[in-house]
Structure 1
Amino acid sequence: MTQHAESTEHIGSPATGSRPGFNLDGILYHCAGDWPDEQTVASLEPAAASGWPWLQQLRWFSQLKQFEQQNGVNQGSRYLLLQIYHHQQLLVLLPLRTSDDSHSLLALSNYYSPEFAPLMPDFVPALSSGIAPLKQTKLWPLLVAAISTLWPQWQQLRLQPLSQTTATQVQQQCPASIKTLVSPFGHNWRAAATNHTDYWQQRQSQLVNTIRRKKKKLLQQGAAIQIHRQLTPELLASYWHIYQRSWKQPEPSPDFINWLLEFSSQQGQLRLGLLLINDQPVAFQFWLVQQQQAAIVKLSQDQAFDTLSPGTVLMAAMIDEVMTQDNVTNIDFLTGNDDYKAQWMDECLPLLQLDLFHCQSLSGWLQYLTQGFRCKLRQLSTLRQRRQLIQAPGSQHD
């Protein structure tokens, strides 16, 4: 990788030229970094992959960027879209933003985001005659080389949320000049089953009996369940009617969720469940279905009906629906470690934050050493607290 002179400047506009070039393993690539205008984004969209996982197409990131800008989130940030080309063929996109102090790059993600991943076309042709197609093993060296070409003064790149598998792959692929630090970010509950019968056999009898008992009571109250695949204005109104009467914190704005509901409806991935009592909507569940997998995006119920547990009964109906009608074999609760998820899911996987440090620069080395020291201190503090808990009077370990 080309070395650059030390710079104390913040991350700003890319190097001069519309698409600066760089060489990696004897192959010439070109890259761009500014976030393009809407017309250019629309032209890139067909080449920017099918949006796995969970509709994370370029439009997803454009909407996320718009949501943050309109709601004053990360006000000091600049939004960037790393684009890498070979012979005019788009190879990969990486949506980013700068940190508030403009010293670091961060994955464009927030509390709406499932696992972050670069956007790659569904099909990448051979790079040139006699050269194999782009492989995953070359993805992160390529991205790091492009970042260093466009922003030679970069110090740190933060990626989150990542699965353990993805974090390990990135670490293994990064060149020797890149140091990494991994830290906890969150949790991801999941379940797998060959069919709905298999799924329910894995659940505890207490949950199954609760569903049966609560369903009976709800039917006596005039309850009905609807599961929709197309969004309508009436369904959208019911969604927000329930949300506003639930325990959920108010959204900064309904814009992103409204867009995601509409977009998933257009893509055929929306599963919107409603439970009504005497035609009054009291619980909703917003799911996505893609590639025989289902993701639970949002769920809520009117607090006035909590004693009837409409959300529990609706959850059971949604599981049966996606497993019997969509042949779903995996259910993903996305992010969060709420206690109730354990009774529905099989395993809780860690979500991680991975920091990459540009250690060819002194400032990148200092960032790496400073954050590594802080990480060690946090680990020691956590270990000390655990020991104190074990040694406390009355501890079960006494």
Structure 2
Amino acid sequence: MASVQYLANPAGAQAAWTKALGRENQHAPFDRLAWWSALNDLCLPDEKPLLALASDGEARCALALMHRPGSGHLRSLGNWYSFWARPVFAAGGEALLPALTRDLARKARRITLQPLAQADAEPTAAAFAAAGWNVRAEQADVNHRVELAGRSFAEYWAARPGRLRETVRRKGAKGLAELHIVDRFDQAEWADYEAVYAQSWKPEEGSPAFLRRFAEEEGAAGTLRLGVARIDGRPVAAQLWTVDNGTAYIHKLAHVEDAKAHSPGTLLSHALFAHVIDRDGVRTIDFGSGDDGYKRDWMERARAMLRLDMHRPLDPRSWPYLLRDRLRGPGFPLAALRHGV
């Protein structure tokens, strides 16, 4: 029989949950207790975490949430650093999701989960709908990926746009940029990464402390791929990647504007793609959320990332939202909701 509990601080998880939600059982950083703990410690000034946990023997099901106290509205524990925020399972815990969605009715009148790939949104929406929640799905973002299907880097590169390949050929032939990739955290390399980001076109970093902690943890595990490009010793481009269970994740990238003519960011991307494909042997490269035009040159597949908005239909506070949704018409066409649940 499923047992459901709630944890107000990820750091207080018992050993069984620490193992179930650790690197041994969860093969993507966003599904791990360490990720949620770092978000709680460094990124949630106005929100409180709430981990919804269901267990039955060794089976585990977890949904990481956060809320503003007193709001009655739970949301995915995540931010712009999170590629996704989905239910997480261990040892057959998928069967526990219905019990968790039923019990969550005691905790909230509204739950919003995002972003989720359709493959994750379908069973999640079905479980919430079966538990009496009114569920609406909408597209929240776009995720760009490459599925390599056994290709070498040379084969992957041959399929890239000619304009991109010519840029790498011409700029690389000049030999101005020195490219360096490390798989362990290095203070000097990280300082150069931060220096590049501070001089780039990117907005101010939301939580430098969070990124550093993540890079340190991934470096300790050997999954960090931190690349820096330098011209005449000056760092001019930097990228933060990780490699996990056959997938390379591109977390951050930036270049210094006054070096743009030399395309150091493009050359560094070329080197990192070659590294993770031929040396790490990844099967997938994930460029995270966002439909930026430059991603299309490097990626081959775009998929919708969804938002699920769940309301308790008998709670009067839900009625304005339910009326609004009815007036807006159908949302994203999930199979789980095709009968208008």
Taking structure 1 as the reference length, the TM-score comes to 0.76
Residue 215 in structure 1 maps to residue 164 in structure 2: no
For residues 59-78 of structure 1, the aligned pairs below 5 Å read 59-69=34-44, 72=45, 75=46, 77-78=47-48
**2:213 is paired with a residue of what secondary structure?**
helix
- CA drift of 1:168 comes to 1.9
Quick one: which amino acid aligns to residue 92 of structure 1?
C
Q: 1:266, CA displacement in angstroms? A: 1.3
Structure 2 CA distance for partners of 1:375 and 1:139, relative to 1, 3 Å: farther
Residues 189-338 of structure 1 mapped to structure 2, 5 A cutoff? 189-193=144-148, 194-217=151-174, 219=175, 221=176, 223-338=177-292
Query: How far apart, in 2, do the equivalents of 1:43 and 1:36 lie?
Result: 15
- The letter of the residue matching 1:189 is H
Asked if structure 2 preserves the Cα contact closer than 8 Å seen for 1:53 and 1:114, the reply is no
Q: RCO greater where, 1 or 2, for CA within 8 Å and sep 6 or more?
A: 2
Q: Contact (CA 8 Å) 2:114, 2:140: kept in 1 or not?
A: yes
Structure 1 pair 230–55 and aligned structure 2 pair: CA distance change class (3 A): farther
Q: Could you tell me how far 1:90 is from its partner in structure 2?
A: 6.2
Amino acid paired to 2:185: L
Name the counterpart of 1:18.
none
**8 Å Cα contact 1:107-1:158 kept in structure 2:** yes
Determine the C-alpha separation between the residues in 2 that align with 1:98 and 1:119: 19
- Matched position secondary structure for 1:120: strand
The one-letter code matched in structure 2 to 1:228 is: V
**Which of residues 303, 315, 320 in structure 2 aligns to 1:362?**
315
Q: CA deviation at 1:258?
A: 0.6
Q: For residue 225 of structure 1, report the CA deviation from its aligned partner.
A: 0.9
Between the aligned partners of 2:12 and 2:146, the Cα distance in structure 1 is 40
Instruction: String of CA shifts for 1:71-123, please: whole Å, max 9, x gaps.
Output: x3xx2x33211122335x562222111246512111111111111122333xx
- The one-letter code of the counterpart of 2:33 is L
Inter-partner Cα distance in structure 1 for 2:60 and 2:93: 10
Corresponding residue to 1:86 among 43, 56, 59: 56
Superposition deviation, residue 37 in structure 1: 6.8
- In the TM superposition, what is the alpha-carbon distance from 1:362 to its structure 2 partner? 3.2
Q: Residues 114 and 335 of structure 1 are in contact (CA less than 8 Å); yes or no, is this contact kept in structure 2? A: yes
Match of 2:31 in 1: 56
- Name the Cα RMSD after superposition: 2.3
Tell me the residue number matched to 2:297: 343
**Matches for 1:117-156 after TM superposition, within 5 Å:** 117-121=86-90, 124=91, 134=92, 136=94, 138-148=95-105, 150-151=106-107, 154-156=108-110
Deviation at 1:290, TM superposition (A): 1.2
Query: How many angstroms apart in 2 are the aligned matches of 1:340 and 1:159?
Result: 28
Secondary structure, counterpart of 1:244 in structure 2? helix
1:98 aligned partner: 67
Name which of 18, 26, 29 aligns with 2:2.
29
CA-CA distance at 1:363 after TM superposition: 2.9
**Aligned-residue offset at 1:52:** 3.4
Does the aligned pair in 2 maintain the 1:189–1:334 contact within 8 Å?
yes
Which amino acid in structure 2 is aligned with residue 275 of structure 1?
A: A
1:376 aligns with 2:333: no
Equivalent residues of 1:32, 1:84 under 8 A apart: yes
Q: Please tell me whether Structure 1 or Structure 2 has the larger radius of gyration of its CA atoms.
A: 1
Q: Is the 8 A contact 1:357 1:364 kept in 2?
A: no
Q: Does the 8 A contact of 1:283 with 1:300 survive in 2?
A: yes
CA offset at residue 357 of structure 1?
Answer: 2.0
The alpha carbon displacement at 1:135 in A equals: 5.5
Partner of 1:113: 82
Aligned pair count reads 327
Identity of aligned residues (%): 28
Residue type of the alignment partner of 1:266: A
Q: What are the ranges of 5 or more consecutive residues in structure 1 without an aligned counterpart?
A: 1-27, 125-133, 380-398
**378 and 289 in structure 1: CA distance in 2 versus 1, 3 angstrom threshold:** closer
Please give the alpha-carbon distance, in whole angstroms, between the structure 2 residues aligned to 1:378 and 1:355: 10
Per the alignment, do residues 166 and 43 of structure 1 end up closer, same or farther by CA in structure 2, a change over 3 Å counting? closer
- The answer to whether the 8 Å contact 1:99/1:106 transfers is no
Whole-angstrom CA distance in 2 between matches of 1:239 and 1:375? 44
| Equivalent in 187, 198, 219 of residue 142 of structure 2 | 187
Residue aligned with 1:188, SS: strand
For residues 278 and 330 of structure 1, what CA distance do their matches in structure 2 show?
34
Code of the residue aligned with 1:354 in structure 2: it is L
1:374 offset after TM fit, Å?
A: 5.6
Cα distance change on mapping 1:188 and 1:343 into 2, 3 Å: same
- Please tell me whether the aligned partners of residues 275 and 283 of structure 1 are also in contact (alpha carbons under 8 angstroms): yes
- Give SS of 1:271's match: strand
Q: How many Å separate the matches in 2 of 1:320 and 1:237?
A: 24
Give the secondary structure class of the aligned counterpart of 1:102: coil
